Amino acid sequence: MNWLNDNVNQLALLGAAAILILTIGISAKYFKDIKEGKSEGELKEENWDGIGEYKNNSPIGWSLAFIGTIIWGIWYWLAGYPLNAYSQIGEYNEEVAAHNARFESKWSNPTKEDLLGMGEGVYLVQCSPCHGIDATGIEGKAQDLTKRLLKESVLAVIEKGSAALGDNAMDGQGKFGYPMGEMPPGLVSGADAEAVAEYVANGLKGNQKGAEVYANACASCHGPDGTGMDGMSPNLKEYDDKIIQAVLEHGKQSVIGTMPSFKGMLTAVQQKAVATYIRSLSE
C-alpha cells in the first residue's frame, strides 16, 4: 500500500508543513519587529513597579491561527482521524472475524471425536489453571467438573433458590434464560432436602426416599429423568451445551473468586467442544 494513501501520513505531513510555514513566517515577523518596531499606543492604567502594558489588540495572524486550530481540531476528530482513518485495531478485528468465520465454516459439522479433541485443547489452555488438569477443582478451590452437582451445592440451591434461571434473570452470575424461570427457595427442607440432595448428586440413583421427594417436588420442572425437559430448566444429570455456553458467555461467581466471561474469545463450536469434553470427564 502506498504510504501516501494513508490518511494518518497525510495528516502528519499537512501538520508538519503548516507548523514549518507558521514557524518561518512568525520568526521572520518578530525578527523584523525587533529591528524596526517601536512601542506605540495607549498605556493601560495598571502597572507593576512602573512597568506598563499597551492597549494593543491581539495580532490578526495569531487570532486567525487560533481560530483555525480550533476548526482543524474539530475536523480532525469528526472527519479526519480516527473516524475516517486506517486503524490497526480495526484491521486486527477484521482479521479475527474473518478467521472465526473460516473456522466455523470448517467445523460446521464436527464429529464427537473432533469436539473432544478441540474441547480438550481449549480446556487445558483456558480452564485447567483453575479447575485443574484432571478437572477436579484443585482441592475444592474451584468447581469439580467431573461431577455435575455436589450434595452441598444442591442443598444450597434448595435453601436459597436460584434467581439466575429465568428468561430475564441476571444476578451477576450470568443470564441462563430457562423458560421455567426462577427456582423458588424452600421447596423442601430437613430430612427431605438431605435425601433429595444426595439423590441428585448421585446422578438420580439410589436413595429411595430421595427419589420419592424428587418425583413430588422436582420432576415437574427438571423432568423425571433430570435432564431438564428439553431445555425448559437446568439439566441435573450432566453439563449440557446450554449451561456451559451460558457460564462461558457470562462468567460465574465461584469459591476462589469470579470466573471471567469468555465472550468473544471462543466461537460457538469451541463452546460446544468444551461442553462435550467436560461431559466426557464423568463418562
Same domain, 162 and 277: no
Q: Which three cell numbers stand for residue 112?
A: 464427537
3 state DSSP class of 252: strand
User: Does residue 22 lie in a domain region?
Assistant: no
Same domain, 135 and 243: yes
User: Does residue 177 lie in a domain region?
Assistant: yes
Q: What is the pLDDT of residues 72-124, one digit of tens each?
A: 888 877 776 655 666 778 788 889 889 988 998 899 899 999 999 999 999 99
Same domain, 118 and 256: yes
User: Does residue 95 lie in a domain region?
Assistant: no
Same domain, 262 and 283: yes
Widest CA span in the chain = 110
- Give dist(CA 96, CA 209) in Å, integer: 54
Q: What is the pLDDT of residues 241-256, one digit of tens each?
A: 888 888 888 877 666 6
User: Does residue 28 lie in a domain region?
Assistant: no
pTM over 0.85: no
Q: What is the pLDDT of residues 181-214, one digit of tens each?
A: 788 888 888 998 889 989 888 888 887 888 898 8
Q: Which residues contact 170 (CB under 8 A, 6 or more apart)?
A: 164
Q: Which residues pair with 183 in a beta bridge?
A: 162
Same domain, 187 and 265: no
Same domain, 156 and 142: no
Task: State what percent of residues in the chain have pLDDT above 90.
Answer: 17
pLDDT for residue 255: 60
User: Does residue 33 lie in a domain region?
Assistant: no
Residue 96 CA from chain centroid, whole number: 16
Write phi, then psi, for 40 (nearest 5 degrees): -155, 165
Total number of domains in the chain:
3
Write phi, then psi, for 137 (nearest 5 degrees): 90, 15
Same domain, 5 and 68: yes
Same domain, 167 and 222: yes
Domain residue limits at 77: 1-11+60-85
User: Does residue 54 lie in a domain region?
Assistant: no
pLDDT for residue 180: 79
Same domain, 116 and 245: yes
Residue 48 pLDDT > 70: yes
Same domain, 209 and 158: yes
Residue given cell 426416599 in the structure block = 209
User: Does residue 4 lie in a domain region?
Assistant: yes
pLDDT for residue 41: 72
Residue 277's domain is classified under what CATH number? 1.10.760.10
Last residue of a domain, one of 69, 85, 101: 85
Same domain, 209 and 169: yes
Last residue of a domain, one of 226, 246, 274: 226
Residue 229 CA from chain centroid, whole number: 31
Same domain, 131 and 253: yes
- How far lies 116's CA from each of 111, 113, 135, 278, 279, in Å? 9, 5, 15, 9, 10
Q: Which residues contact 203 (CB under 8 A, 6 or more apart)?
A: 148, 237
User: Does residue 270 lie in a domain region?
Assistant: yes
Residue 3 pLDDT > 50: no
State mean pLDDT over 247-272.
82
